[in-house]
Amino acid sequence: MADAPNRPNSGARYKASVLVCTGVDDPPAPPRPVVDFETELRTGGVGDRHAIACGNTLHGFTNPAANGAMMRTALDHGRADRRSGRRSKARLMKP
């Protein structure tokens, strides 16, 4: 995300819903680029968007196989996974 190119707002309105789940302590996706991405969604016309930021959580927190072996900053976090899963399901069930 940090390397994403700046794209001018095309003015298009999107109908898809967007859910972003991120670990606040994730080096590949630090908070500032995540905020910038949310701003891009808003200015791009994505009306139904939600962000879930899990504290004390790294990259790959929903992947039980993420044990830091392949990527030091990727680590499963069961509690954050369960919490974001519950919040995701709650958002998806709303009309």
Burial 7-20 (b: 16+ CB within 10 A, else e): eeeeeeeeeeeeee
- CB-based contacts of 16: which residues, under 8 Å, 6+ apart? 46, 48
pLDDT at 1: 45
Residues 44 and 4: beta-carbon distance below 8 Å: no
3-state secondary structure of 31: helix
The position carrying tokens 């190119």 is: 5
pLDDT at 32: 92
pLDDT at 9: 53
Low-confidence ranges of the chain (pLDDT < 50): 1-2, 4, 11
pLDDT at 12: 59
